Structure 1
Amino acid sequence: MKRRRFLAATAIFSLLASTPAVAVNKVAARKPAVRTAPKTTARPGQKLAYKNNARKSPAKPLAAGSEAQPVRTALTLPEEPPEQWRTYEITSQISVQKVRGRVRVWLPLAQYKDSVWQRSLGHRWDGNFETAGIYRDPTAEMEVFVAEWKEGVANPQLRMVSQVATQDRHFDITRRNVAAERTAVLRSCLQPLNGVSEEALRHLAERAVGRVKDPVAQGKAIYDWVVDNTVRDPLGSGCGSGNVAAMIEGGRFSGRSADIALLFVGLCRSIGMPARPVFGLRVDSSRLFSSLGRNGELAQAQHCRAEFYAPGYGWIPVDPSDVRTAIAEEHLGPADAKLAVLRKLLFGFWEMNWIGFNAAQDVSLRDAFGDTPLPRGAGASLPFLVYPQAESADGRFSSLDGDRLGYRVATRRING
Structure 2
Amino acid sequence: MFTHTGNNLMKKRFVATLLTAAMVISLFTGCGSKAESDTDKTEKETTESTAEEAPVKEGEVNSGTFTMSFDMSSYEKGQPVRLWIPCPQTDDYQTIENENVELDTAHATSESTTDANGNKILYVEWDKEAAERTLTYTFDATRKEILAPELAENSDTPDASFDEYLKPSSTLPTDGAVKELADQITEGKETNVAKVRAIYDWIIENMNRDDDVVGCGLGNVPELLTTLRGKCTDINSVFVALCRAAGIPAHEYFGIRMSADPEADMTSGQHCWAEFYLEGTGWVAADPADVLKAVLKNGWKKDSEDTKKIQEYFWGNSDALRIQLSTGRDLTLEPAQDGEPLNNFGYPYAEVNGESISCYAPQDFAYTITYKNNK
Cα-to-partner distance string for 1:273-330 (whole Å, 9 max, x where unaligned): 1000111101113xxxxxxx99621111111000100001001100001111111111
* Offset of residue 121 of structure 1: 2.4
In 2, distance between residues paired with 1:241 and 1:295?
29
Instruction: State which of 65, 68, 91 in structure 2 corresponds to 1:92.
Output: 68
| Contiguous gaps of at least 5 residues in structure 1 | 1-5, 19-81, 286-292
* Offset of residue 383 of structure 1: 0.6
The number of residue pairs the alignment matches comes to 323
Cα-to-partner distance string for 1:5-49 (whole Å, 9 max, x where unaligned): x4453465996139xxxxxxxxxxxxxxxxxxxxxxxxxxxxxxx
- Are positions 1:103 and 2:109 aligned together? no
Instruction: State which of 132, 156, 159 in structure 2 corresponds to 1:155.
Output: 132
* Offset of residue 257 of structure 1: 0.4
Cα-to-partner distance string for 1:42-71 (whole Å, 9 max, x where unaligned): xxxxxxxxxxxxxxxxxxxxxxxxxxxxxx
2:360 maps to 400
Instruction: State which of 212, 216, 231 in structure 1 corresponds to 2:208.
Output: 231
- Are positions 1:311 and 2:279 aligned together? yes
Contact 2:62/2:321 (8 A) holds in 1: no
Q: 1:234 to 1:401 in 2, by over 3 A?
A: closer
SS of corresponding position for 1:131: strand
- Are positions 1:9 and 2:20 aligned together? no
Q: 1:349 to 1:149 in 2, by over 3 A?
A: same
SS of corresponding position for 1:9: coil
Instruction: State which of 329, 334, 342 in structure 1 corresponds to 2:310.
Output: 342
Q: 1:247 to 1:344 in 2, by over 3 A?
A: same
* Offset of residue 94 of structure 1: 0.7
SS of corresponding position for 2:247: coil
| Aligned residue identity for 1:393 | N
* Offset of residue 379 of structure 1: 2.6
Q: 1:295 to 1:215 in 2, by over 3 A?
A: farther
In 1, distance between residues paired with 2:60 and 2:174?
43
* Offset of residue 252 of structure 1: 1.7
Contact 2:233/2:272 (8 A) holds in 1: yes
2:36 maps to none
Instruction: State which of 298, 304, 325 in structure 2 corresponds to 1:330.
Output: 298
2:34 maps to none
SS of corresponding position for 1:170: coil
1:272 maps to 247
Cα-to-partner distance string for 1:108-143 (whole Å, 9 max, x where unaligned): 111x2511x222224111122421111123x63411
SS of corresponding position for 2:190: coil
1:383 maps to 343
In 1, distance between residues paired with 2:96 and 2:371?
15
Q: 1:243 to 1:214 in 2, by over 3 A?
A: same
- Are positions 1:133 and 2:93 aligned together? no
Contact 2:151/2:193 (8 A) holds in 1: no
| Aligned residue identity for 2:307 | L
In 2, distance between residues paired with 1:223 and 1:388?
30
Contact 2:72/2:366 (8 A) holds in 1: yes
Q: 1:295 to 1:338 in 2, by over 3 A?
A: farther
SS of corresponding position for 1:216: helix
In 1, distance between residues paired with 2:59 and 2:169?
39
Instruction: State which of 330, 335, 341 in structure 2 corresponds to 1:369.
Output: 335
Contact 1:89/1:164 (8 A) holds in 2: yes
- Are positions 1:257 and 2:232 aligned together? yes
SS of corresponding position for 2:15: helix
In 2, distance between residues paired with 1:155 and 1:298?
24
Contact 1:113/1:141 (8 A) holds in 2: no
Instruction: State which of 315, 321, 339 in structure 2 corresponds to 1:353.
Output: 321
| Aligned residue identity for 2:341 | S
2:221 maps to 244
- Are positions 1:164 and 2:164 aligned together? no
In 2, distance between residues paired with 1:342 and 1:11?
8
Cα-to-partner distance string for 1:224-264 (whole Å, 9 max, x where unaligned): 0111111111211211112112223xx22111100111110
- Are positions 1:121 and 2:97 aligned together? yes
Contact 1:294/1:301 (8 A) holds in 2: no
Deviation larger for 316-325 or 207-216: 207-216
| Aligned residue identity for 1:17 | T
Q: 1:274 to 1:113 in 2, by over 3 A?
A: farther
In 1, distance between residues paired with 2:276 and 2:140?
27
| Contiguous gaps of at least 5 residues in structure 2 | 1-11, 20-38, 44-57
In 1, distance between residues paired with 2:86 and 2:367?
13
In 2, distance between residues paired with 1:329 and 1:104?
38
| Aligned residue identity for 2:370 | A
SS of corresponding position for 2:302: coil
SS of corresponding position for 1:228: helix
In 2, distance between residues paired with 1:334 and 1:369?
45
- Are positions 1:411 and 2:366 aligned together? no
1:282 maps to 257
In 2, distance between residues paired with 1:335 and 1:401?
37
Contact 2:254/2:272 (8 A) holds in 1: yes
In 2, distance between residues paired with 1:344 and 1:392?
45
In 1, distance between residues paired with 2:348 and 2:144?
25
SS of corresponding position for 2:271: strand
TM-score normalised per structure 2: 0.79
In 1, distance between residues paired with 2:354 and 2:289?
35
SS of corresponding position for 2:197: helix
* Offset of residue 205 of structure 1: 1.0
Contact 2:17/2:313 (8 A) holds in 1: no
In 2, distance between residues paired with 1:228 and 1:295?
35
